[in-house]
Structure 1
Amino acid sequence: MKIQISYNYVAGIASFLINLKLKGKQSRHRTRLANLLIEKNKQIAEEELELIKEYAGVNENGAPNKKENGNFDIEDVAGFKQQQEELLSEKFIIEGGDHHGMLKTVKAIVLDYDGEVAGSEAFAYDHICEAFENADEESDEE
């Protein structure tokens, strides 16, 4: 099984999964997937910070330059936004191998979930459902 998660939703999906009340194998597998997402989110944040530094420049401490109001001092806002959107539209691909059992378990949890979701959690839930519904199932026959 292989799923693709847009970088935009990595943090939201991790948060959604962590907040599910589960036991045993379901809890372990959910936590494994959440940990993968949390690590990926750290990488995304680092890449976004490098992008900010590229567009805002850095001060003597290596931090991005800021304006007096505290916002980053980005001169080419349109260029930055385009690069940021490109970054956040990339996909995090998780597939088979050691992750096969985990993905099957979490797929069942997510697609059978009947709790209420609202706000940004609803978008994250919808995205993870779509990721599992569109999953490449070829490795299920192994």
Structure 2
Amino acid sequence: MAKVEIENQKLIPTVNFMYNLKLARKQSRFRRHFINLLNERLKRYEDDRKELLEEHANKDADGKPIINDNQYDIKDMAALDKDLKELNKEKLVIEGGDNREMIRTIKQVLIKFENEEYEGQESEIYDYLCEQFKVDEEGEDNE
């Protein structure tokens, strides 16, 4: 398994899920590396989202976006929704190389927790991560 892809809309639930796992030593270290990658992407996602909001907002006389009660005054909600959906579907791609050991370790963490019971969003994000890390596939990375 050389790469993992995480959709922008799954970044926050993934960070929250990973953060709540009880891990030690190497697994904890690689979880921190993984969370750092997700947080870097999350910052870029939030910047892109703000840019889209500003782009779709009505402007004042100075050309600045109009904001009322901390909400952007959007001129075309359908166009904004389309752009936001597209942004949410974009993926952080983590490929092998320097990340190979992290990917392998996070996969082992997911396997380690497969007998836990999860509910709601936690269950959904666990299944999503298992899919992205190809937990059910046999191969060189399963130990």
Q: TM-score scaled to structure 1, two decimals?
A: 0.84
Runs of 4+ in 1 over 3 A off after TM superposition: 57-64, 137-140
Q: Distance in 1 between matches of 2:50 and 2:36?
A: 21
Quick check: 1:96–1:139 contact (8 Å CA) kept in 2?
no
Counterparts of 1:1-142 in structure 2 under 5 Å? 1-57=2-58, 64-67=65-68, 69-113=69-113, 114-133=115-134
Number of residue equivalences = 139
Q: Which moved more, 1:17-26 or 1:105-114?
A: 105-114
Pick closer, same or farther for the CA change 1:138–1:74 going to 2, 3 Å.
farther
Greater relative CO, 1 or 2 (CA 8 Å, sep 6+):
1
Offset at 1:57? Answer: 4.3
Q: TM-score scaled to structure 2, two decimals?
A: 0.84
Q: Would you tell me which structure has more helix in proportion to its own residues?
A: 1
Secondary structure of the corresponding residue to residue 93 of structure 2: strand
Secondary structure of the corresponding residue to residue 133 of structure 2: helix
Which amino acid counterpart does residue 106 of structure 1 have in structure 2? Answer: I
Residues 51-94 of structure 1, C-alpha deviations (whole Å, 9 max, x = no match)? 00000145699974223x54321110000000000011011100
Identity of aligned residues (%): 36
Pick closer, same or farther for the CA change 1:63–1:11 going to 2, 3 Å.
farther
Quick check: 1:3–1:134 contact (8 Å CA) kept in 2?
no
